[in-house]
Structure 1
């Protein structure tokens, strides 16, 4: 009887050890499971949605019904209005929120432009020079944006105007860059009366061009479906 009890006790102990052995690896596996990636400054589809990947291309046209303006004063209506404008930027960094994401502004175009400047009969072209610029997007209060010079030179725009005496070329520069804001309502990025002083050109070119435009929605065209982009 003692032998049988001893064997039974040993069997129960072995079973308990076996059960403990089967539980421990599962617990170890849970402990080593990778943590979810933190929410980045830029996400697509929704707030706190999938993170925008480094290398993704973001694009936007003007918000419907608006124009891109180069005015002769911060509050005036004299200058140039463009019915179309668009940009394309590549994401360089997209850190965890709170932080600042950076992009390379590769293209920015303007079209269907008109002018109400005395002596000017039309707008031949508007060209953004010295690309690529560095676009920084912060999730700080107000969602500030800065458009800073790249390695090719200062932020510069060349405007070619048609006049009654022929074409003239006006070059405007903002050595310190431009400042704007983003908005998760409509997923927009906007600039208001940003000053670009005249670098060269005749007197017909106004001394300072004030740039105003709002682009949106900003979309990640590197993702299927071109989802909109949010700032977290």
Structure 2
């Protein structure tokens, strides 16, 4: 494509630009949606966008503007994936004592791909040519999406609670506790508060936290779906 140093500099800058412009907004957005679904669609989006590069090259339609758009979009999706990925691990691991081991395993696979990826990517470029290597890169994202979809469990949408709001299970428990006069799970203050129809933010928060459902276990297909990432080629 006869791209000069200036064009390559712009391409490199666009890869880092989403972290500067979108990190704060994506963090808030990811915290309000279903993270497992976000991971799935980020993989699908990156796979399809990267797949347009070898497709355009095959028909001699590839331009620098195309590469600019793909680079920025893929980097933005990778940023959203990273934020959702970090927040989704605690939802999948049932035993909190194993959370450190789970995070360590994911970090280990990320480190391995970060170290070995460039070398393997360069080897693929030499053996298969750059368009084919990029097509393999695109397929890795789609494979990761399939693995995540096949093993995904319940994916709660964690909306921030307003002051004085309550979760359904805590409200049901208060009603049953108030009718019975006492409840082993609620204190006398909570029962009296629910009987008067008022609720304080601290009481609501305590009740909701005590009734949180345990998250599902991390399935093998989910682990590989979270771990399988493309190598930079």
Higher relative contact order (CA 8 A, sep 6+): 2
**Greater percentage in helix:** 2
* Normalised TM-score (structure 1): 0.24
